[in-house]
Structure 1
Amino acid sequence: MAMWGGRFTEASLAEFRDFNDSLSFDYQLAQQDIAASRAWAAGLLEAGIINADEAAQLDHALADLALALESNPKLPLETQEEDIHSWVEAQLQAKIGVIAKKLHTGRSRNDLVATDLRLWTKLNSQQVRRLLVGAIGSLIQFADRFQGAVMPGFTHLQRAQPVLVSHWALAYVEMFKRDLSRLDDALVRLDVCPLGCGALAGTGVAMDRTALAQRLGFQSAALNSLDAVSDRDYVVEVSAAASICMTHLSRLSEDVIFFCSGEAGFFKLGDAISSGSSLMPQKKNPDVFELLRGKTGRVLGHLVAILHTLKGLPLAYNKDMQEDKQGFFDLIATWQQSLLVLSTVLPHLSVNIERCREAAELGYSNATDLADYLVGKGIAFRDAHEISGELVLLASREKKPLEALSLTQMQQVCPLIGDDVYPALTIEAGLAKRAALGGTCPVRVGEALASAKLWFDGL
């Protein structure tokens, strides 16, 4: 049943219907459409458009339809309706007859779909939020589990300086906390009700839109009807928040993939989260992290698609906006699944503590500590940097670590070096020196972990 057939004398082409109709995906908005319709019916009663008996019949029929959808969410797909709005109306007409035809008084599919999608986004963003908090909790637990373990830190994927494993995990906690704040910000701005704005110019019904918004759980009613029916900023904002979060997840995945490789051997995948090769019996593949990394591109693509859809649209509503849903539905589902998977797999990820420490001692990662030692002897940092580099070159030629050079060899390059240089070149000394706020000093990392736990417990 089309909601717009009065001025037409010919039936729609099948090809047009296939191209135009949206029920195949907007059926997912069914519960939101029913909620909006129940609120609208209550508003029509207050405005004197329908009487109490008609309002009660509409509300009971809509409630029954909501229950039927709980049992079978794909119920609308058993019909040939154009979209979810026409499906709901057709179901009501079949149940209560002509009274159903009064429901659409003063509203448009434009403000209705905008309301439905906002309600859907609120609901599913709250689920994302819960899953994101769960992922943060799993990272905090990982950091707690491997307190004190040291590993190489990298820049340019080259060994740089030793860091604590907990420091690495807490870096991603910081990223995901920012993602959480971005999602919360987006939720504030989307919490506005478009219902009652009509097609573009506002409703002709004496509707209390503030009460209508409150009835639907929105913080406020939209202030401009043209903007309200055409605004999809919240889709862009949530998609952008998802894209940034998934990018963080992808970076974490890339780290884990490398750390689990035979060349690194820092982390180990549990059997429950690994897959093998159909040809090579020895293989243990990090497929789950590769998929997390791969799904990021899918989410980023949906963000670009909605921006391209919106960039050339004049006010107010245009049918282009029907393209806001399929990609967005997939983006939210992918984001939710990815966060759930991360929380699930992290407990099955372990650290090879001995191998991590061995690797942290390689690559002359204590060269900066040597330069800092020389600064303590009164040498300017630039000169200390030069001297440390010369000693690295000497040690490299002799294929030994810095701390294996004899005192005589060191003093040939810099006479100010004494026996006290050797304790300064240990991993423990290097870590302890990074004691400024945000550093990898064990004390600081312990404080950061305690702070993260406190923050998490307060959610």
Structure 2
Amino acid sequence: MTKEQTWSQRFESALHPAIALFNASIGFDIELIEYDLTGSQAHAKMLAHTGIISSEEGEQLVTGLEEIRQEYRQGTFQPGVDAEDVHFAVEKRLTEIVGDVGKKLHTARSRNDQVGTDTRLYLRDQIQQIKGELREFQGVLLDIAEKNVETLIPGYTHLQRAQPLSLAHHLLAYFQMAQRDWERLGDVSRRVNISPLGCGALAGTTFPIDRHYTAKLLDFDDIYANSLDGVSDRDFAIEFLCAASLIMVHLSRLAEEVILWSSEEFRFVTLKDSCATGSSIMPQKKNPDVPELVRGKTGRVFGHLQAMLVIMKGLPLAYNKDLQEDKEGLFDSVNTVKASLEAMTILLREGLEFRTQRLAEAVTEDFSNATDVADYLAARGVPFREAYNLVGKVVKTSIAAGKLLKDLELSEWQQLHPAFAEDIYEAISPRQVVAARNSHGGTGFVQVSKALIAARVQMDQ
């Protein structure tokens, strides 16, 4: 059995049913239906505004499209594969509702500029939602940070103990990553919010349309200056996928730290039952499923970015059917980012607890105060590189003796260099090591308190 054509009488035979199924996008572009209806209403109003159709016909079209919206929301309008795509599905149903006037809706418009408009309306809306979720995520980071300005945590480079930090300072690093994500989405949104409606299939139209009128109705900031570019451009989607990928990078980095921190080897956090699962055969285990899933889902967003780049790299102007493949990856990336942000926000808010006593012990178990010994000498006139080498030697001998720097006798310090005095012990205490790093943007408690105030100001912008 073959499928009857939906587009023109140019073809003598109908499409093979397997090809019809392969060709159809209704299974996923139904996601755009509300945006398609909104764009179509604006187009109908413009047709009436310019006199291409009568005012009465314009009102009929707008009313009929709104009826379809309500049917869809109520679940009574559920087009199948025979509709091919959401645009044909809406037009067919509209004609059933308002009669032949429904066939006038597509005047001066192509599916090419139509789907471009729908996708931009969709993405503009989703970006605002993601920005809102980023603010929720940032808010939780700040809530935890404000309670832990003077909680210490080991800092790492190369995953080796480096220098102790304020836990608030550590969390504020992720706040700043999220802030860049929030700002980056705003920048992407500017290029999303340009209207291709009226570009037609590729060359514009012979009808006296008013593209600025529809752009204003749809709250677009501008219109595409070139019709070829308008229907074939997917830069905005690629930019969004880049921004989405970076959001996932940042979430994945935090996820990896939570996974490490919750391990028996670190024991920096305890996972609560609401955000962890157990093993099917090992009853003692509590698995960090949320951060592991976020870490895993990051790859799918990267994959969608790569797929979009590959789709676009060889396309001649203007529209090509390849561009049908832009939607599933875009939709999935939006959903993945939103779900991951929500999950990580819940995890931070109510799914884990920092083990402050363990953290306090951890910062006393290593040589992460060695740089402060070198700084101590440099402040007393010893060239830093000379001080650095001296401290390297004392670390080496201390390790051999099974001691930490805090365990050395004053006489041992003074054998190393006569500049050492009793105050060396205070200088290398973890709390003083952190407090002393009072340079702008540093981990010192004064600087962290200032950074928290500044972060709250950023949240209000």
TM-score using structure 1 length? 0.97
- Structure 2 counterparts to residues 85-96 of structure 1, below 5 A: 85-96=87-98
Match of 2:106 in 1: 104
**1:77 Cα deviation (Å)?**
3.8
- Structure 2 counterparts to residues 319-334 of structure 1, below 5 A: 319-334=321-336
**1:415 Cα deviation (Å)?**
2.6
Q: Which sits farther off after the overlay, 379-388 or 37-46?
A: 37-46
**1:12 Cα deviation (Å)?**
0.4
User: What secondary structure does 2:266 align onto?
Assistant: coil
Determine the C-alpha separation between the residues in 2 that align with 1:110 and 1:34: 15
Partner of residue 260 from structure 1, selected from 259, 262, 271: 262
Determine the C-alpha separation between the residues in 1 that align with 2:213 and 2:129: 26
Determine the C-alpha separation between the residues in 1 that align with 2:435 and 2:310: 50
Match of 2:116 in 1: 114
User: What secondary structure does 1:282 align onto?
Assistant: coil
**1:394 Cα deviation (Å)?**
1.4
**1:144 Cα deviation (Å)?**
1.5
| Contact 2:231 2:318 (8 Å CA) reproduced | yes
| Contact 1:76 1:87 (8 Å CA) reproduced | no
| Contact 2:49 2:55 (8 Å CA) reproduced | no
Match of 1:217 in 2: 219
**1:35 Cα deviation (Å)?**
1.0
Match of 2:60 in 1: 57
Asked if 1:357 corresponds to 2:368, the answer is no
- Structure 2 counterparts to residues 86-235 of structure 1, below 5 A: 86-235=88-237
Q: Letter of the 2:298 partner, please give it.
A: T
Q: Which sits farther off after the overlay, 52-61 or 309-318?
A: 52-61
Unmatched segments (≥5 aa) in structure 2: none
User: What secondary structure does 2:277 align onto?
Assistant: coil
Determine the C-alpha separation between the residues in 2 that align with 1:261 and 1:445: 27
Determine the C-alpha separation between the residues in 2 that align with 1:347 and 1:19: 45
CA 162–231 in structure 1, closer or farther in 2 if over 3 Å, else same: same
Determine the C-alpha separation between the residues in 2 that align with 1:432 and 1:28: 53
Determine the C-alpha separation between the residues in 1 that align with 2:431 and 2:347: 31
| Contact 1:374 1:384 (8 Å CA) reproduced | yes
Determine the C-alpha separation between the residues in 1 that align with 2:235 and 2:416: 63
| Contact 1:196 1:209 (8 Å CA) reproduced | yes
Determine the C-alpha separation between the residues in 1 that align with 2:441 and 2:380: 26
**1:10 Cα deviation (Å)?**
0.4
User: What secondary structure does 1:264 align onto?
Assistant: coil
Percent identical residues: 44
**1:379 Cα deviation (Å)?**
0.6
Asked if 1:24 corresponds to 2:27, the answer is yes
Match of 2:457 in 1: 454
Partner of residue 380 from structure 2, selected from 377, 391, 396: 377
Q: Report Cα offsets for 1:132-174 as digits up to 9, x if no partner.
A: 1111111111112323100100001111100011011100000
Determine the C-alpha separation between the residues in 2 that align with 1:355 and 1:65: 60
Q: Which sits farther off after the overlay, 228-237 or 78-87?
A: 78-87
**1:434 Cα deviation (Å)?**
0.5
Determine the C-alpha separation between the residues in 2 that align with 1:178 and 1:89: 42
Determine the C-alpha separation between the residues in 2 that align with 1:192 and 1:2: 33
| Contact 2:5 2:14 (8 Å CA) reproduced | no
Figure out how many residues of one structure are paired with residues of the other and give that number: 457
Match of 2:18 in 1: 15
Determine the C-alpha separation between the residues in 1 that align with 2:441 and 2:270: 27
Partner of residue 46 from structure 1, selected from 44, 49, 53: 49
Match of 1:238 in 2: 240
Determine the C-alpha separation between the residues in 1 that align with 2:376 and 2:148: 29
**1:325 Cα deviation (Å)?**
0.2
Partner of residue 313 from structure 2, selected from 308, 311, 319: 311
The runs of at least 4 aligned residues of structure 1 exceeding 4 Å deviation read none
- Structure 2 counterparts to residues 396-407 of structure 1, below 5 A: 396-407=399-410
**1:3 Cα deviation (Å)?**
4.5
User: What secondary structure does 1:377 align onto?
Assistant: coil
Determine the C-alpha separation between the residues in 1 that align with 2:378 and 2:168: 29
Determine the C-alpha separation between the residues in 1 that align with 2:6 and 2:221: 30
Unmatched segments (≥5 aa) in structure 1: none
Q: Report Cα offsets for 1:193-238 as digits up to 9, x if no partner.
A: 1010100000221011101100111111111100000011110011
**1:356 Cα deviation (Å)?**
0.7
TM-score using structure 2 length? 0.97
CA 223–2 in structure 1, closer or farther in 2 if over 3 Å, else same: farther
**1:79 Cα deviation (Å)?**
5.6
Determine the C-alpha separation between the residues in 2 that align with 1:57 and 1:18: 32
Determine the C-alpha separation between the residues in 2 that align with 1:435 and 1:146: 17
User: What secondary structure does 2:250 align onto?
Assistant: helix
Determine the C-alpha separation between the residues in 1 that align with 2:228 and 2:444: 56
Q: Report Cα offsets for 1:235-261 as digits up to 9, x if no partner.
A: 001110000010000000001110111
| Contact 1:143 1:166 (8 Å CA) reproduced | yes
User: What secondary structure does 1:76 align onto?
Assistant: coil
Determine the C-alpha separation between the residues in 1 that align with 2:288 and 2:146: 23
What RMSD, in angstroms, separates the aligned Cα atoms of the two structures? 1.2
Q: Which sits farther off after the overlay, 296-305 or 42-51?
A: 42-51
